[in-house]
A = this chain, B = another copy of it.
């Protein structure tokens, strides 16, 4: 399969990965969630090649994940901010970070703690069933064809 055909797959994971599934995109979005907004800042914080960064920011903007917001005129300068669509990727970030916290942290502990301002405590995101509120585990979930399923 070619990478460009990925958004045609009848699978939401594949379709999401067609937007965020390359080497750099999720790291760029991590920076966005940490507050980074400008080209130079992304470059220096990530150590990414400039043309790759320019390409990814362009694609994320075209995908509606990042908005370009002018922060000065003359010379015109724009910064990149998460759109609503982009902020919706937050659960992906948190679950990725938590897997790393659990399985990739060294003996010295996790690099970053997430504090939930609402309650003031260190938080670990927990995935629960929207219907019954119980934790959602792979072994308790099966899939069925949805309305957009491809009938082969």
- Measuring CB to CB, which residues of chain A are less than 8 angstroms from any residue of chain B? 1, 3, 7, 10-19, 21-23, 26-27, 30, 33-34, 46-48, 64, 82, 85, 87-106, 108-119, 121-132, 134, 136-150
A25 (CB) vs chain B CBs: closest residue: B21
Asked if residues A148 and B94 are in contact (CB atoms below 8 Å), the reply is no
Task: Sample 15 A-B pairs with CB under 8 A, ordered by A number.
Answer: A1-B48, A7-B104, A12-B98, A15-B104, A17-B23, A88-B102, A91-B99, A91-B127, A94-B127, A112-B144, A116-B131, A117-B140, A119-B132, A119-B134, A121-B132
Task: List, in ascending order, chain B residues with CB within 8 A of A91's CB.
Answer: 95, 98-99, 125, 127, 136
CB distance from A1 to the nearest CB of B (A): 3
Asked if residues B114 and A12 are in contact (CB atoms below 8 Å), the reply is no
Give the contacting residue for A97; candidates B16, B102, B106, B149; CB below 8 A.
B16
